Structure 1
């Protein structure tokens, strides 16, 4: 790691440019558990928009035998040795919108590639943007409880069972206030049900710049300490 890092604790102090490659990183406490190299679509007063294509280079926390967090009970996970393992994103292309100072991001999905399929609301701690001498990015903590939103704006909670299971292990779990996580989801639900931005059709016709390559490796600085 570079010992001469600089952090930017205020979201408004960092602005990324369209086309920039930045690191989208997830932490539990100060432990880096997930990182991927993503493309900036735009970044302005509405928030940060990112493009995460199929094949995006990433590292995720896995056990020595290749299992992830969802492959075992949480009680086993916290007692098992784990390591960040380089791989590539095997899911569909994703457009991610992170509003400033918000406890969520909104992911847009298309399937097939030209057909908008729905939104996924990822509930998370407000992201911290950063830039240093070698890299730049956004650091978050995923709050596990999420929401799926169909094109007709009907929605439902996702992963409630995971939240309930893990809350039974407060000495290991990173979510400290279930009520606040749900409250953030209900604030988003009000936008969904009223058809307000960003659930008003904005960006549903987005197409990426075809000249954007998919990088093969994470850049130096990908494992720098968490920005706060």
Structure 2
């Protein structure tokens, strides 16, 4: 993945696509893949009939829900995806001002490229962290995480313990101001060509990367 290329981050619950983000590659280095997600980027997520984001839903309801395409409107974000790590770390910026880190706990990402579109697939684990600029942190979405644990199509109690242990490890890193919470990229200024878009439909139709046969 070269700098400036568009790649699609896809998030699954089980085998069901629940969210997709169009991102632009900033750099690839031994530290991981750094992606840029500016406001206005292509974005898709599952919505309940009332228009709210789906939470605490049985997996059969998730399978039936429509994926609605819109635009990313939260904050500009730098996203670090590290090989083999069960998380991604996001730097949130509001008009260039660093607001803190968001830690998404997730299955290690798997890369794919179909010759037209490339992407990274992961399974979202619901539980997240928000880390303030001073290194203090708090859990997010604990109720949703507890609700899903042990339910069909989600994760077992043993898997849930591993997810929470990953979160505790990152909380310690944040409190000790270790990378990626050491100030790196907090003053980043990313050149902003047009926000990346979700183009075509291959990103939507493609099965999860881990469900496809691997080459012999």
| Consecutive unaligned residues in structure 1, runs of 5 or more | 1-15
Instruction: Name the stretch that deviates more: 55-64 or 33-42.
Output: 55-64
| Consecutive unaligned residues in structure 2, runs of 5 or more | 211-216
1:186 aligned partner = 168
Give the superposition deviation at 1:68. 2.4
Instruction: Verify: 1:222 aligned to 2:203, yes or no.
Output: yes
Deviations 1:177-218 (A, max 9, x none): 1100011111212211211111111000111113x1124542
Task: Tell me the SS of whatever aligns to 2:66.
Answer: strand
- 8 Å Cα contact 1:21-1:37 kept in structure 2: yes
- 8 Å Cα contact 1:28-1:174 kept in structure 2: no
Report 1:1-228 matches (<5 A).
Answer: 16-70=1-55, 74=57, 78=61, 81-111=64-94, 113-167=95-149, 170-174=151-155, 177-210=159-192, 212-223=193-204, 224-228=206-210
Aligned length, in residue pairs: 208
- 8 Å Cα contact 2:59-2:152 kept in structure 1: no
- 8 Å Cα contact 1:40-1:51 kept in structure 2: yes
CA distance 1:24–1:217, change in 2 (3 Å): closer
CA distance 1:135–1:216, change in 2 (3 Å): closer
Give the superposition deviation at 1:66. 2.9
User: Partners of 2:64 and 2:79 in 1: how far apart?
Assistant: 31
User: Partners of 1:44 and 1:92 in 2: how far apart?
Assistant: 24
Q: What TM-score does the superposition give when structure 2 sets the normalisation length? A: 0.88
1:12 aligned partner = none
User: Partners of 2:50 and 2:172 in 1: how far apart?
Assistant: 43
Task: Tell me the SS of whatever aligns to 1:42.
Answer: strand
Task: Tell me the SS of whatever aligns to 2:47.
Answer: strand
User: Partners of 2:63 and 2:121 in 1: how far apart?
Assistant: 25
User: Partners of 1:115 and 1:100 in 2: how far apart?
Assistant: 28
- 8 Å Cα contact 1:19-1:41 kept in structure 2: yes
Give the superposition deviation at 1:109. 1.1
CA RMSD of aligned residues (A): 2.1
